[in-house]
Amino acid sequence: MLQTIKKIGVLTSGGDAPGMNAAIRSVVRTCAFHDIKCYGIYRGYEGMIEGDFVEMDARSVKGIINKGGTMLKSARSTKFRTKEGRIKAHEQLLKAGIDAFVVIGGDGSFTGAMIFNQEFNFPVMGIPGTIDNDIYGTSHTLGYDTALNTVVDAIDKIRDTASSHNRLFFVEVMGRDVGHIALNVGIAGGAEEILIPEEDLGLDRLVESLRRSKKSGKSSSIVVVAEGDKIGKSVFELKDYVDQNMEDYDVRVSVLGHMQRGGSPSCFDRVLASRMGVKAIESLITGKSNYMVGIKNDVMELTPFDQAVKGKSKINMELLRVSDIMTI
């Protein structure tokens, strides 16, 4: 292998996701395998600007494959959005002799890496880590599979109490821009309706659907709502609306929030993280830069950062139809 890179930095940036630790472990161990020094960069781009680096060897990442969160910590850096901040970060990397970095994060983190690469011709590679799965160029981001399982588990528990009390629950799940989580957990959790950013169901149709389900003999219901859903109402406003328009319903709201980002990564996320780390480092070694590593049809692929950042991650429309049929 062509090898001019001697020291690689790795950072986690943006919202954390289960599997980030497994990806750090993979990056560090793939570096060790290829005789490349690896440096952990703490607190995302903030730590890069401050030169908060630590040398990591194969043993320094022991016991983390099963841990949620990120041992390197994460941050959303406003300083890195400024040219001044990026100049400082570049100086710190040069001072430490780091000649490439891998960023594990979402599209905001990739935009930063892309600009940095353009400004300093610095080799960069991205690993998609976000529970929202809202990144173009990969069928799965790190943390998404774990989050799905976490949310389904929570919905199963909510279902127990919903059915004991004959209640209707609005369950808010994460997903600012894309409804992947809502759609999948909605089907898996047997939700009556699924409200997602991609589709505006409308309040009247929602009420109509709930009336229909009551008539068909259902005594309790769950409506899964993505935080960015298009009806444009918060879950609490949805509750008020249903309270006012359907007196025979006892309605409750459950906002799952940040618990969705925690927990031990699933087998799928651990394997994906391991594969992505290998692909990222071996791509850098062969002279590739400015790409995001992704998985498509179980094959690791590279997508240029500009496409990963500009492209839209689309939901599977077939799932909407499946959900409609399941809620008859």
**Residues belonging to the active site:** 132
Q: Are 252 and 167 in contact (CB under 8 A)?
A: yes
CA dihedral of 210, 212, 215, 219, whole degrees rounded to 10? -30
Q: Are 272 and 142 in contact (CB under 8 A)?
A: yes
Read off the tokens for 119.
Answer: 């400004």
Name the one range near ligand F6P by CB under 6 A: 114-122, 128-136, 198-206, 303-311: 128-136
Name the one range near ligand F6P by CB under 6 A: 27-35, 96-104, 169-177, 201-209: 169-177
Using CA of residue 243, residue 244, residue 246, residue 248, what is the dihedral sign? positive
Asked if 265 is part of the footprint of ligand F6P (rule: CB under 6 A), the reply reads no
- Is 250 marked as a binding-site residue? no
Q: How far apart are CA 261 and CA 173, in angstroms?
A: 11
Q: Whole-number minimum distance, CB 196 to ligand F6P, in Å?
A: 13
Read off the tokens for 86.
Answer: 């990026």
At residue 97's C-alpha, the angle toward residues 91 and 98, to 5°, is 85
- Is 292 marked as a binding-site residue? no
- Is 163 marked as a binding-site residue? no
Asked if 187 is part of the footprint of ligand F6P (rule: CB under 6 A), the reply reads no
From candidates 44, 68, 128, 175, binder to ligand F6P by CB under 6 A: 175
Contacts of 5 (CB under 8 A, 6+ apart): 36, 99, 100, 123, 284, 285
Q: How far apart are CA 191 and CA 326, in angstroms?
A: 9
- Is 131 marked as a binding-site residue? yes
Q: Whole-number minimum distance, CB 172 to ligand F6P, in Å?
A: 10
Nearer to ligand F6P, 212 or 258 (CB): 258
Name the one range near ligand F6P by CB under 6 A: 172-180, 199-207, 305-313, 320-328: 172-180
Chain residue whose CB lies nearest ligand F6P? 15
User: Which of helix, strand or coil describes residue 323?
Assistant: helix
From candidates 12, 21, 30, 130, binder to ligand F6P by CB under 6 A: 130
List the one residue out of 47, 282, 326 whose CA is nearest residue 194.
326
Q: Whole-number minimum distance, CB 263 to ligand F6P, in Å?
A: 13
- Is 15 marked as a binding-site residue? yes
- Is 271 marked as a binding-site residue? no
CA distances from 27 to 12, 44, 136, 281, 311 (A): 12, 15, 22, 6, 26
List the one residue out of 24, 56, 31 whose CA is nearest residue 270.
24
User: Which of helix, strand or coil describes residue 253?
Assistant: strand
Site string for ligand F6P, 236-255 (x = CB under 6 A): --------------------
Neighbours of 219 (CB within 10 A): 12
Asked if 172 is part of the footprint of ligand F6P (rule: CB under 6 A), the reply reads no
- Is 59 marked as a binding-site residue? no
Asked if 131 is part of the footprint of ligand F6P (rule: CB under 6 A), the reply reads yes
- Is 191 marked as a binding-site residue? yes
Provide the phi-psi class of 113: left if phi over 0, else alpha when psi is between -120 and 50, else beta.
alpha
Name the one range near ligand F6P by CB under 6 A: 24-32, 40-48, 173-181, 200-208: 173-181
Nearer to ligand F6P, 123 or 143 (CB): 143
Read off the tokens for 310.
Answer: 């500009």
Asked if 195 is part of the footprint of ligand F6P (rule: CB under 6 A), the reply reads no
Name the one range near ligand F6P by CB under 6 A: 127-135, 199-207, 246-254, 317-325: 127-135
Q: Which of positions 41-100 make contact with ligand F6P (CB under 6 A)?
A: none
Q: Which residues bind ligand F6P (CB under 6 A)?
A: 15, 130-132, 174-176, 227, 261
- Binding positions are 15, 25-29, 76-77, 106-109, 130-132, 159, 167, 174-176, 190-192, 218-220, 227, 252, 258-261
